[in-house]
Structure 1
Amino acid sequence: MPRPRSDDKRAAIMAAATRIIAVQGLGAATAAIAKEAGVSNGSLFTYFDTKADLLNQLYLELKGEMGAAALGGLPAGDARAQTLHVWSRWTDWATAHPHKRRALAQLQVSDEITASTHETAGRTMRGLGEVLERGRANGPMRDAPATLVFALCNALAEATIDYIINDPGGADEHKRSGFEALWRMIG
């Protein structure tokens, strides 16, 4: 009879995977993740069939958390106000959770993340895309491919987040400057 699964153990494995991947990269051994989580390596595979399964589930969890943080409390109103809200919440989440951000960045480009997982994550992030689409509807990038615009927005956010992390005393000013650059680009 299989052992019952514990939500707490699964959460510990996911948190450990986030920390280990952020520090050691995607090549980190599952044994290191299990040790960090305080479970046996065999127990890890009670929750995830393979390391690739763990990575795909972690990617979905982190994307979902980031998207929920960015869209949480989205105000009614104009596109600029909504885009500013998403920008602020996104940069706040990323600077508050540097290990999650670092692990997510590695997972984003991993060949282990399946096309199906990327599609599911895309659906999870749909609300974020809708806000950016409204923001660029009448702007200079309105006719550019959406994937290009989103990649540019992400690059600008990453640069802003890095700057905030390196100069936390100026975080509010950096966040504002980054948003103004974003809005000039799309709005």
Structure 2
Amino acid sequence: MDVVLDKRERILAAAARLIVRNGLQCSMAAIAEEASVATGSLYNYFDSKEALVLGVYTRVTALMTESLVTPSGGDSGEEPVRRYIESYIDFIWEDPDRARLFDYLDNNPLITLRDAKAIFGAFVEHGIAMIEAAQAAGVVRAGPPTMIMSFMRGSIRNTLKRRRMTETRLTDADRQLVAAMCWAAIAA
């Protein structure tokens, strides 16, 4: 069983790497080669390239959810939002390839809105609930929670993308500045 999960994971990781390098122009044969599996093996796990792309989205979402969705512990004020901002900065910075994959998938939606809601639903709902609770506590500005979350995540991704282009590391002072700017932009 571990070998099966390992092979599926290798296929998803290979597809993600090739999407980052080449977009969706990569063939199933190229993905198989990158994953060190037979092309026919791909179809044991994914019946089409579209299904494989859905798998890549699902994998990225699972990583995001694991890293960013944390119980609030009853805290509905400023602290959960600040923790989320800091965690998102870490999530985007720690793996440049994953950040590029997320950028590609975000800028080139390859799935239907219905699929996106199914895949990202729990992650998005967590962010909305966190912002709504912070708004109710009077610490986050009024406005649609989805817009606030999109602004916050997009600001972090774009800032760190630019940083990667010009610098080789993100210092603690830089990280704190990005977090402070995000908070200042959404604070009530």
TM-score (norm 2): 0.83
How far apart are the structure 1 equivalents of 2:38 and 2:181?
48
Give SS of 1:26's match: helix
- Name the counterpart of 1:179: 179
Structure 1 residue identity aligned to 2:56: L
1:119-171 deviations in whole A, cap 9, x for unaligned? 123322022332233334435741x2333222211221113322553435443
Runs of 5+ consecutive residues of structure 1 not aligned to the other structure: none
Give SS of 2:33's match: helix
Aligned 8 A contact 2:32 2:39 in 1: yes
In structure 2, the CA distance between the partners of 1:132 and 1:100, relative to structure 1 (3 Å rule), is: same
Residues 88-167 of structure 1 mapped to structure 2, 5 A cutoff? 88-125=86-123, 126-137=125-136, 138=138, 141-142=141-142, 144-165=143-164, 166-167=166-167
Q: Which runs of 4+ in 1 moved over 6 A?
A: none
Structure 1 residue identity aligned to 2:132: E
How far apart are the structure 2 equivalents of 1:82 and 1:58?
28
Give SS of 2:24's match: coil
Candidates 41, 54, 57, aligned match of 2:55: 57
- Number of aligned pairs? 182
Give SS of 1:77's match: coil
Structure 2 residue identity aligned to 1:21: I
How far apart are the structure 2 equivalents of 1:28 and 1:74?
41
Superposition RMSD on alpha carbons, in Å?
2.4
Matched residues, percent identical? 23
- Name the counterpart of 2:36: 38
How far apart are the structure 2 equivalents of 1:13 and 1:27?
16
Give SS of 1:6's match: helix
- Name the counterpart of 1:21: 19
Give SS of 1:25's match: helix
TM-score (norm 1): 0.84
1:34-69 deviations in whole A, cap 9, x for unaligned? 101001222111110110111112102101211220
How far apart are the structure 2 equivalents of 1:46 and 1:15?
16
In structure 2, the CA distance between the partners of 1:174 and 1:32, relative to structure 1 (3 Å rule), is: same
Aligned 8 A contact 2:78 2:134 in 1: yes
Runs of 5+ consecutive residues of structure 2 not aligned to the other structure: none
